[in-house]
């Protein structure tokens, strides 16, 4: 196989590490439910998130990804700490890269166990389906190859598992995705969904009543290729303005701005400057997200972390 398609796929395999089976997001720390079903209903209110990502702008066939999620708690009387609270929600996610277009729809369920007032363990599941399409019109091979020359569109089941633990000042989470290794119909000979794992963690340093420092890390482990690691640091000012910087190993440096609007709405923008060889074709990645929560803010603004509410 030759041409831009070949260069593009090789670039993804070498530098992204996930082969784009699982979209990556620079704003992952602001949208935990989008990557971990254990966050379903973790907050005592409706929580709605939407995000759009344009990766490697200017590169032909570059990834375009996004999601829409809604999470709600389920009413449950709790007589003691170890009895569970419950939550549910859904996620729609889309990802287009080159000749591939993938859409996922998942319903979520999670149970939340408080060991103390501040220590909580959450376990959750995503279950749904993935629709994938493949357009072979712009694919050219030196010799006829039926494994890549025919169009395809198919639907397969999709499932993920998530675990989450947080205390007052820290959290860590584990997500296992593509638990059902479905084969890609009419695309290649051995192509299929492959198991992916990710681990993230963060800590909140309260510098004073109005200012917090929030370092965090997200480790992605693909079935093949290099491990991807995001390291982020964000300043939270009065739980209203967030300013952050990040680094993704061998791929990008990241700048992030998050602003709350009328207390229950927020908008975030992040900019990735590409460090890998893909910068020869495209330097920049943009990400824009919106969020609405029905949770009413505290009367007195303090440097709190929404993840721990």
Q: What is the pLDDT along the chain (309 residues), one digit of tens a residue?
A: 333 433 444 344 333 333 457 899 999 999 999 999 999 999 888 999 999 999 888 777 788 999 999 999 997 666 666 777 899 999 999 999 888 889 999 999 999 998 888 899 999 999 999 998 887 666 655 555 555 556 678 899 999 999 999 998 999 999 999 999 888 776 766 677 888 999 999 999 999 989 999 999 999 998 877 889 999 999 999 889 999 999 998 789 999 999 999 878 999 999 999 888 777 776 789 999 999 998 876 554 454 555 555
Q: How much helix, strand and coil, in percent to the nearest 5, is found in the chain?
A: 10, 50, 40
Angle at the Cα of 78 from the Cα atoms of 72 and 84, rounded to 5 degrees = 60
Cβ atoms within 10 A of the Cβ of 10, count? 11
Q: Please give the residue range of the domain that contains residue 23.
A: 4-308
Q: What is the model's pTM? A: 0.85
DSSP-derived secondary structure letter, 191: -
Give all strands (DSSP E) within 77-169, no chain letters.
85-97, 100-114, 120-134, 152-166
Which CATH number goes with the domain that contains 181? 2.40.160.40
pLDDT of residue 188: 65
- Asked whether 136 and 99 are in contact (CB, 8 A), the reply is yes
Q: How many domains does the chain have?
A: 1
Single out the residue of 251, 162, 246, 237 nearest to residue 202, CA to CA. 246
pLDDT of residue 219: 95
pLDDT of residue 242: 95
Q: What are phi and psi of 294, to 5 degrees?
A: -85, 0
């Amino acid at each position: 196989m030759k041409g831009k398609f070949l260069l593009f796929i090789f670039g993804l395999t070498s530098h992204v590490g996930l082969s784009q089976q699982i979209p990556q997001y620079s704003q992952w720390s602001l949208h935990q439910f989008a990557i971990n079903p254990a966050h379903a209903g973790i907050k005592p209110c409706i929580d709605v998130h939407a995000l759009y990502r344009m990766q490697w702008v200017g590169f032909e066939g570059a990834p375009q990804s996004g999601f829409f999620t809604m999470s709600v708690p389920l009413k449950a009387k709790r007589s003691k700490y170890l009895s569970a609270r419950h939550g549910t929600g859904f996620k729609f996610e889309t990802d287009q890269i080159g000749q591939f277009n993938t859409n996922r729809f998942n319903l979520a369920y999670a149970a939340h166990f408080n060991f103390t007032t501040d220590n909580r363990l959450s376990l959750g599941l995503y279950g749904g389906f993935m629709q994938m399409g493949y357009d072979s019109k712009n694919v050219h091979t030196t010799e006829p190859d039926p494994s890549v020359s025919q169009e395809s569109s198919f639907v397969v089941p999709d499932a993920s598992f998530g675990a989450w633990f947080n205390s007052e000042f820290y959290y860590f989470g584990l997500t296992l995705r593509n638990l059902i290794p479905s084969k890609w119909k009419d695309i290649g000979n051995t192509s299929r969904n492959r198991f992916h794992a990710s681990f993230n963690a963060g800590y909140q340093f309260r510098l004073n009543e109005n200012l917090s420092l929030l370092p965090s890390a997200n480790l992605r482990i693909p079935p093949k290729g290099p491990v991807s690691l995001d390291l982020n640091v964000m300043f939270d000012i009065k739980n209203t303005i967030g300013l952050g910087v990040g680094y993704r190993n061998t791929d990008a440096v990241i700048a992030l701005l998050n602003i709350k609007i009328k207390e229950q709405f927020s908008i975030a923008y992040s900019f990735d400057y590409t460090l890998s060889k893909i910068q020869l074709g495209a330097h920049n990645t943009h990400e824009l997200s919106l969020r609405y929560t029905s949770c009413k803010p505290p009367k007195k603004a303090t440097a709190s972390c929404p993840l721990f509410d």
